[in-house]
Amino acid sequence: MASTDRNATEIETLYRQHGAALLLFASAISGDRGRAQDALHQVFLKAIENGSLSQAINKKAYLFACVRNAVLNDAKLQQRNMPLDLAQAWFSPPDRDYAGEQNLRRALGDLPDDQREVIVLHIWGELTFSEIGDLLAVSSNTAASRYRYALAKLRGSMLPKENPCADPR
């Protein structure tokens, strides 16, 4: 009874800590926020039922892997590849910068799937390239290079091109 309670408390804490990043990650690969939410709940419900989280060494990386599997399994069952649903907000913007949030969402949507995954996992999931490599079954160097490409593309699409002839005033 005590261990079950401890397990539930730990899972609740993990959900509070990483739920937002996990949902963003699921949204970024599933394309649909509702399906992403379902996948996230499915993962946590399974974790509560079978207590699999207690055996994981790196719980955060394990959760990201579980969410990814849940989303991909769901996509396989649905036999379709949904386009990204960019209508709903993914982020709470700083200083009510709603235009910036929309801009970021659109820029993320323009990225190739593998680069979007790595960007979300590293920036908002705060996983290392080694953890990302394990999760995606690629080397950490590949993960890092995907990240660099993705970051450059995001920068290019979000920020106005710097004009070297522009008046610095």
Backbone torsion region of residue 17, taken as left when φ is above 0, otherwise alpha when ψ lies between -120 and 50, otherwise beta: alpha
Q: Which is nearer to other proteins, 8 or 72 (CB)?
A: 8
Neighbours of 154 (CB within 10 A): 20
Residues near other proteins (CB under 8 A) are 8, 11-12, 15, 19-24, 37, 40-41, 44-45, 48, 89-94, 100-101, 104, 123-124, 148, 151, 154-155, 159
Q: Which is nearer to other proteins, 80 or 96 (CB)?
A: 96
d(CA 83, CA 109): 9
Q: Are 63 and 18 in contact (CB under 8 A)?
A: yes
Least separation, in Å, of the C-beta of 151 and other proteins? 6
- The residue written with tokens 């990240």 in the block is 147
Q: Which is nearer to other proteins, 12 or 113 (CB)?
A: 12
Least separation, in Å, of the C-beta of 23 and other proteins? 4
Q: Which is nearer to other proteins, 100 or 109 (CB)?
A: 100
